[in-house]
Amino acid sequence: MPVSPKRKLEAEISEACIKYQRDLVGRGPQETKTYIVKDMVITRFKGVLTIEEKHLIQHEEGKKLVKQMRQVLREIHSEAFEEIITNLTGLPILSSHSDISTETGERIEVFIMSEDLEAKLES
């Protein structure tokens, strides 16, 4: 059974994000899954915390530091992340959002696209 254009693009986005994170942080996530939902591209990264970050999050102040550091890194590299998504989807991004959970070690990236990408892929 052939892979749908949507599933193929989701896999390509996941792979590109993994590669970029490896280059940026020195290691990639343990697992990555991308979902295209209407005009959103949502990428969920599991197991993103480094060994140092895992030690830091044992302390309340450390949790804050890890979140702050990841937010600053994301802001510095937001254009590159958005460029990856734009290049793969062929669509401009209206906005993007990111957060990391120090409880689960997961990070999420959400990209709001200029049009309904899911509908475009299914037509």
- pLDDT tens for the chain, 123 residues: list them: 788 999 999 999 999 999 998 888 788 899 999 999 999 999 999 999 999 999 999 999 999 999 999 999 999 999 999 999 999 999 999 999 999 999 999 999 999 999 999 999 998
Give the contacts of 83 (CB within 8 A, at least 6 positions apart): none
Q: Report the half-sphere exposure of 26 (CA within 13 A, side-chain side).
A: 4
CATH class of 5-117: alpha beta
pTM: 0.92
117 neighbors 36 (Cβ within 8 angstroms): yes
Largest CA distance in the chain: 50
Does the CA dihedral 9-73-98-90 come out positive or negative? negative
Query: If phi over 0 gives left and psi between -120 and 50 gives alpha, with beta otherwise, what is residue 26?
Result: left
The confidence score (pLDDT) of residue 86 equals 98
* Distance in angstroms between the alpha carbons of the first and the last residue of the chain: 18
